[in-house]
Structure 1
């Protein structure tokens, strides 16, 4: 009988998350029942939203149950199947979680999807051509809805969401300005991703200083902004927004440890008649096919060159995840399992 190694949430964080919140266990894999598929994971995804699920407090996602495998996206290959639509060797994407194998009920709509790796590497289906890419697409196209010539910004610009956002916005004729942490990330954002400018937030001690840098990079103001971070970054952006600016809020990683994130100048929402909308991309499945088609084309044609940080082996996942929360990753954070 094949053994499966898994990482479960052992206890909830008290403030900052630590490695001690997780536990590595070993369980046997039972024989498949009708309709089930056994997937061997090649890569698993680490994403900021997972930190919110570790808490028991109310959030947009139900809390991660204690003692159960951490939920998350995976890509891999079918190694056994009791479902007519999936055969051994098929490459698939799903939500297999932090484990080496997953048993999937393939009759559940959307539980498992076959992918084509002819032009798009398998790992990119967890990033640019997966949930992060679709997240960028929805925020840009459905909330910000920019016109050619407008200026749009994005925080965490070198990450999986930010890099896809930049390519999508450039394809729509926008001036695109990123905000990232460190010279290397900013150089990548401009030189490889094709942003018009990128600001290193680590060079600024407060939002006023960061906002001054934004004024230089966005001489015509900011028409649309995609927020992944919150806190000082959002305060700085709001000072530079134009009338009728649109802000898509997808993440608040600056506050994932439970500390409040007060807004410095909320009156700007009224003064600039701003639209600020939070969203969860899994609630908008109807747009995924269109978004994935465009994202796949951008990657396949080299117009989007996503970068990945890859940790080796399941046991490395907790440390890699904690590093992600502190911005230690460069691009999409993955764990390679084979």
Structure 2
């Protein structure tokens, strides 16, 4: 299926609002639900999963040292959106088909709040097993400013749940960062990049079984699966209108398998200011940035004196990386 590029505007995930906030702690509630969302104007609305009715989920912003409590609520249907492979460890027939547990990727937390893969729970918080039984997670955020993300972590179906849409940004802020005069507000843009494949009716496609199945059970596992379409913030090949000034982009590779090697077709430098763990000691001007799955990068791109110009961010990373099929430098 061929979809037109750069016809839909880049959506920006909303900021999650706290249910309660005082000088001692902040409290959030986050629902996981199934809903329909437009991923491209030429597609029928796609059924996805998400947090608070949004794919990607709303961005959670916290201060360094802020004590945060989040109640994660599973309101997903009992039937999975994608084919489940019951031969995978953790996805056996004796466990519910739909189960979730949330992991804040990169956070420093106590084990019971880390999204232990076998600490899953279902709709109504029904849980089986001797693992951590906790629906409200505590995040002390005792780290410096950094770009984290939250996603599902259920054993055996993590790849399916994240592909379905269960992912979102989690930013840790601190006062020292605000003193650096970095682009902020509407000039700080989170970019969650994923690859997917669609059926002709607009629904998500995921392989149902290997070419040569070795078991009688229906399976969905393949060594690697690469979608043929790139989405940014839940939109297929979107565009972003920018002003002739500097922008800060928070890049996240939220794909299951695909690497990305980003570069600008204008040939200009990308100034990297941060990695997974936070801000670097000093910026580095680079021509390209490589991101593995779950990896993040914090960058500045300067559009000064580029009025009326069209600049394409391209990906030319082979799949699988680094010796697979060429990506043909497709624009993301």
The answer to whether the superposition gives a TM-score over 0.5 is no
Shorter-chain TM range is under 0.3
Q: Which has the higher strand share?
A: 2
Q: Which has the higher helix share?
A: 1
TM-score (norm 2): 0.25
TM-score (norm 1): 0.25
